[in-house]
Amino acid sequence: MKLLYSITIFFALLTCFSCNDEKQKNIDLNATTWPQIEAKAKSASLTMMMFQGDKKVNRYMQEYVVPTVKKRFGITLTTVPGQGKEIVNNLMSEKEAGKQTSEIDLVWINGETFFQMRQIDALYGPYTDKLPNSKYVDYDNPIIKYDFQQEVAGYETPWGESFYYLIYDSTKFSNPPVSMQDFERHWKNRPGRFTLSNDFSGMTLLKTWLVELAGGMANLDGPFDEAKYKNYAPQLWAWLNQHKKYFWKEGETFPSSITNVAQMFSNGELDFTMSFNDAEIDNKVGEGLFPRSSKAYILKTGSIHNTHYVGITANSANKEAAMVVCNFLISPEAQAKKNDITLWGSRTVLAYDKLEKQWQDSFNALPKRKYGLDAGAIRSRAIKELAPEYMLRVFDDFRKEIINE
């Protein structure tokens, strides 16, 4: 679901956002009732920028969310492709052009993109306390309350929980690599059959290895530490450069998207793919894209666990309608649909014990995962996301140190 925007340009242009028109930003939520917000939302048109590289996600949005918000609330919702880099680029371009109203109303974000948007004052909030369905959200869960160790503070609507894991074909080998040392042996035994994507998913694998080099999550927990990064990151780049000759195309190029990696795994070109959606393996096996011998597993370091969110842009002209859509996305109905592996399979952000019995029954009746990892097993191995600056630096340094851009 997020890519890097040049750190140098990003911070150089921070001042462009300090002069936002306050009239565009704020609704007096204390003086506005929810029925008034819904009334103002009718007949509004919204544009949501989001990752569109997964047909299950697209189907959920186009066949369920878009027509439902149109029918129930009179809101015309249009989705357009784009994630971290594109979102930040678009919003900064609007500001540089002096536009007071953004063409983007909603964004699917987390992590370093949330960090960047908060730094440049590009998100509207706090507003989530006003959403009636917030009463169901498991805000006691620190993975939901904090986005890459940043307090969400009402500026993002939690949309789904994610766990990072790898997928392999168990007919090719029986013991998949779980540590960096294991990967060294695997790459040498099966050269040309591994790569990682030059996007959020691939960079998460690099962060997992960074945690391994640091001796565990405890050593990188908390705010970004420049000294620690300068200690462990060079070790990571040296290790990758030493072994990338065993990668796909000898490490001279890397796929731009995890979608490309999944396709190459599907056609047998690669030994591994990676995912944040623990239902993806069930989805792809069910569609005949992955072999039935596919198995999911977690690296020795653990499974990076995070939440993805929906944000409202600060210069959206349709904030009331955007809030109505956000409220719908965290309704028990929409979350149950999203949790259904035949539609998407994303884990819910709702607290089961806060749901009425009818909705508990709805979640209990959902099809069970056959190939994915057990939720309890995943949570027992879950580790927190690092501070967002680690992802930004890894993105930049991967290009510089490994791709040689």
Q: With the C-alpha atoms ordered 72, 366, 285, 276, is the resulting torsion angle positive or negative?
A: positive
Rounded to an integer, the average pLDDT of 11-18 is 43
Rounded to an integer, the average pLDDT of 180-186 is 98
pLDDT for 340: 95
DSSP secondary structure code for residue 79 in this structure: E
pLDDT for 30: 84
Whether residue 22 has pLDDT greater than 50: no
Contact yes or no for 315/24 (Cβ under 8 A): yes
Q: How far is CA 15 from CA 11, 91, 92, 102, 398, in A?
A: 8, 13, 11, 18, 28
pTM of the model: 0.89
Percent composition of the chain: helix, strand, coil (DSSP 3-state, to 5)? 50, 15, 35
pLDDT for 121: 93
Local confidence band at 17 (pLDDT 50, 70, 90 cut-offs): very low
Q: Which two tokens stand for residue 248?
A: 């796909």
Whether residue 54 has pLDDT greater than 80: yes
Q: Where in the chain is the domain with CATH 3.40.190.10?
A: 7-161+306-370, 165-304+383-403
pLDDT for 15: 42
pLDDT for 29: 87
- CA dihedral (107, 113, 118, 122) in degrees, to 10, reads -40
Query: Rounded to an integer, what distance in angstroms lies between the CA atom of residue 22 and that of residue 130?
Result: 20
Rounded to an integer, the average pLDDT of 217-238 is 97
Whether residue 148 has pLDDT greater than 80: yes
pLDDT for 405: 60
Amino acid at 169: D
DSSP secondary structure code for residue 321 in this structure: H
Beta-strand pair 106-109/150-151 = unpaired
pLDDT for 21: 42
Architecture of domain 165-304+383-403: 3-Layer(aba) Sandwich (3.40)
Amino acid at 203: M
CB < 8 Å & 24+ apart, contacts of 222-230: 222/149, 222/387, 223/149, 223/387, 224/386, 224/387, 224/388, 224/389, 224/390, 229/390, 229/393
Q: Name the β-bridge partners of 306.
A: 162
Name the residue with tokens 């396709």.
263
| b/e map 6-32, b = 16+ CB within 10 Å | eeeebeebeebbeebeeebbebebeee
Beta-strand pair 303-312/382-383 = parallel
Contact yes or no for 47/105 (Cβ under 8 A): yes
Architecture of domain 7-161+306-370: 3-Layer(aba) Sandwich (3.40)
pLDDT in tens, 257-301: 999 999 999 999 999 999 999 899 999 999 999 999 999 999 999
Local confidence band at 250 (pLDDT 50, 70, 90 cut-offs): very high
Contact yes or no for 157/297 (Cβ under 8 A): no
Q: What's CA 158's distance to the chain center, in Å? A: 11
> Cis peptide leading into 223, omega within 30 of 0?
no
